[in-house]
Structure 1
């Protein structure tokens, strides 16, 4: 009987640790949450109103990129580009879209020969971005966020 009471007392004392509440600090929770977030990806890509009916993250990204590329190509096709030589180049246009949807060019990588052949190319590319329709910013965890990406533009003049 003493053994049974002793065993019961031992079980009760050992099980008390399961009722201890551990303090959870908000800073610890915040740091743990920040480590689980993939900061290089967004939940929703930037978008144009023409992409509203498209579902799926990859399809929306493709719609955005194609709309942007088509707009720039159409704008350049409407210009009277005078080239001194034949031009075959892929231009890398690094773009940024801020939280409000304002799009800006961060960097243009153009071969020197292309710049020499088409002197107005830089200003034409910048103007094509100014005339874009409204851009809706990317979304990350329900918040509008700033994004950067590179858009390749192929210039072919014979």
Structure 2
């Protein structure tokens, strides 16, 4: 009996550490949340009003990119572009979309021959952005956010 009593006493004295609650600081919680946060993806991609009815995230992204590409293509089709040689090139356009819905061309990658033949291509693309319909910005965790994306455009001038 004495042995059992001693065993229980030792057990009670050493088991107090098991009942202590460890406090987690708010900074630790914040750091854990920031590390788990995916900074490169948005909850909802930017869209035009014509794409708002689409619920699937990837389809909505495709709708936005296709609408933008078609708009730029239609604008360039109306312009009189004169070249000395045939051009078939894929131009990669890099855009920034602000959280207020303002789209800005930041960079373009194209072949040197294309840049030489159509030196004002960036100005034409920037001009085409002025007549875009209203763009609804990307959303991350319920907030409008800035977004950057690339869009390939195929140029074929004969």
TM over 0.5: yes
Structure 1 stretches lacking a partner, 5+ long: none
- Cα separation, 1, equivalents of 2:14 and 2:137: 56
Which residue is equivalent to 1:18?
Answer: 18
Which secondary structure does the structure 2 equivalent of 1:66 belong to?
helix
1:95 offset after TM fit, Å? 0.3
RMSD in angstroms over aligned alpha carbons? 1.6
Q: Are the counterparts in 2 of residues 84 and 118 from structure 1 also a CA contact under 8 Å? A: no
Deviates more, 1:27-36 or 1:17-26: 17-26
Query: 1:130-145 maps to which residues of 2 (within 5 A)?
Result: 130-145=130-145
Query: 1:102-121 maps to which residues of 2 (within 5 A)?
Result: 102-121=102-121
- Cα separation, 2, equivalents of 1:11 and 1:50: 70
Which residue is equivalent to 1:87?
Answer: 87
1:7-56 superposed Cα distances (whole Å, 9 cap, x missing partner): 32233333322321222111111111111112122222111111111111
Normalization by structure 2: what TM-score?
Answer: 0.90
- Cα separation, 1, equivalents of 2:10 and 2:43: 52
Which residue is equivalent to 2:68?
Answer: 68
1:38 aligns with 2:38: yes
Structure 2 stretches lacking a partner, 5+ long: none
Which secondary structure does the structure 1 equivalent of 2:99 belong to?
coil
- Cα separation, 2, equivalents of 1:148 and 1:40: 10
- Cα separation, 1, equivalents of 2:137 and 2:15: 53
Q: Are the counterparts in 2 of residues 45 and 57 from structure 1 also a CA contact under 8 Å? A: yes
- Cα separation, 1, equivalents of 2:2 and 2:116: 100
- Cα separation, 2, equivalents of 1:56 and 1:3: 69
- Cα separation, 1, equivalents of 2:44 and 2:13: 53
1:142 offset after TM fit, Å? 2.1
1:124 aligns with 2:108: no
Deviates more, 1:81-90 or 1:112-121: 112-121
How many residues were matched structurally? 158
